[in-house]
């Protein structure tokens, strides 16, 4: 099996061309084996390239623990770059089918190669039934007590569920996200972002991802954190989000949330399955 290892802001993935559906029904075992950092290739998840009847191409995301993810911001940037640079589809913009609907990727090229990718991530939802969350009201700056510690949380669906906790990053261990993820308010769990506001144009975050654990960056988490900080009046409509693995520019517009960043191929190879 041929594969490509690629990363976006340190969030790393294994891309596999599965347009012939050779791994259909085997995605969970494939992800667990390949993503193991000691006995496999090592990654936060796998991205499968599939044919689509709804868009030009389909991206299927499987987390490192074998669970399915509807959307991944860093993943779709990596996916889009690979599909374009490898000549699978050369459309710019490129429409991609995901579990969170069809997303559009816009490319900035340098010498014919993708340098930056901008994704229209769509709109967030604060509706509890969409997240989903076991409550009737929107979760915005809500005080909760989890495992003996009080947090003020803001939660939304940004392709996948995201919970944002504001404060100084030094006051939070990213492993606290493991407990917040499983909080009873979230029947299907939640990604967790600890967010510190630097000024009205800059924030920094660290993320605990549902299904992957602590990661160097999370595209949907950067979007959710920018949206939450804007909604609470901390930042404007355009914010630079700094994660441990890199920076993403998030712009809040009337027609969607636009995320811009790079994607870098680490290496290519073959392995036996």
Sign of the CA dihedral with 59 first, then 62, 67, and 69 last: negative
Mean pLDDT estimate for the chain: 97
Catalytic residue among 195, 218, 222, 223: 218
Task: Give the start-end residues of each E strand in 121-263.
Answer: 142-146, 149-158, 160-166, 191-199, 202-209, 213-215, 238-243, 246-253, 256-261
For residue 173, is pLDDT > 80? yes
Q: Mark whether 72 is an active-site residue.
A: yes
- Backbone phi, psi, residue 247, to 5°: -120, 145
Long-range CB pairs of 88-95, under 8 A, 24+ apart, other chains included: 88/17, 88/49, 88/57, 89/56, 89/57, 91/56, 94/56, 94/57, 95/55, 95/56
Domain 142-256 has CATH 3.10.310.10: yes
Query: Binding site for substrate, residues?
Result: 11, 63, 73-74, 191, 209-210, 219-220
* DSSP string covering 215-236: ES--HHHHHHHHHHHHHTTSS-
pLDDT at site 153? 98
Provide mean pLDDT across the span 129-153: 97
pLDDT at site 49? 98
Listed in order, the ranges of the chain carrying CATH 3.10.310.10 are 2-122+260-270, 142-256
Query: pLDDT tens, 65-81?
Result: 999 999 999 999 999 99
Alpha-carbon dihedral of residues 118, 48, 177, 182, nearest 10 degrees? 130
Provide mean pLDDT across the span 135-149: 96
pLDDT at site 273? 76
Contact predicate 100/71, CB 8 Å: yes
Q: Mark whether 223 is an active-site residue.
A: no
pLDDT at site 272? 83
pLDDT at site 204? 98
Provide mean pLDDT across the span 104-125: 97
Domain 2-122+260-270 has CATH 3.10.310.10: yes
For residue 55, is pLDDT > 90? yes
Please give the structure tokens belonging to residue 2.
């041929």
Catalytic residue among 72, 78, 222, 223: 72
Provide mean pLDDT across the span 109-135: 97
3-state secondary structure of 254: coil
pLDDT band of residue 196 (cuts 50, 70, 90) is very high
Query: Binding site, residues?
Result: 11, 63, 73-74, 191, 209-210, 219-220
For residue 229, is pLDDT > 90? yes
């Amino acid at each position: 099996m041929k594969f490509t290892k690629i990363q976006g802001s340190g969030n790393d993935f294994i891309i596999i061309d599965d347009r012939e559906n050779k791994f259909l029904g085997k995605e969970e075992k494939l992800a667990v084996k390949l993503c193991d950092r000691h006995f496999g290739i090592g990654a936060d998840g796998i991205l499968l390239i599939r044919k689509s009847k709804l868009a030009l191409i389909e991206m299927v995301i499987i987390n490192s623990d074998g669970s399915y993810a509807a959307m991944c911001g860093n993943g779709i940037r990596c996916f889009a770059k690979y599909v374009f640079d490898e000549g699978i589809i050369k459309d710019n913009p490129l429409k991609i089918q995901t579990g969170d609907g069809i997303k559009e990727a816009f490319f900035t090229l340098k010498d014919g190669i993708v340098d930056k990718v901008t994704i229209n991530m769509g709109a967030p939802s604060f509706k509890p039934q969409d997240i989903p969350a076991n409550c009737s009201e929107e979760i915005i700056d809500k005080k909760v007590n989890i495992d003996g510690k009080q947090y003020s949380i803001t939660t939304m669906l940004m392709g996948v569920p995201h919970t944002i906790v504001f404060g100084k990053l030094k006051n939070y261990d990213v492993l606290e996200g493991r407990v917040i993820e499983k909080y009873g308010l979230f029947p299907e769990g939640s990604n967790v972002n600890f967010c510190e506001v630097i000024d009205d144009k800059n924030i920094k975050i660290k993320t605990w991802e549902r299904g992957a654990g602590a990661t160097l960056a999370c595209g949907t988490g950067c979007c959710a954190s920018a949206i939450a900080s804007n909604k609470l009046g901390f930042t404007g409509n355009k914010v630079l989000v700094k994660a441990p693995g890199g920076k993403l520019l998030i712009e809040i517009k009337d027609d969607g949330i636009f995320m811009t960043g790079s994607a870098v191929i680490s290496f290519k190879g073959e392995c036996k399955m």
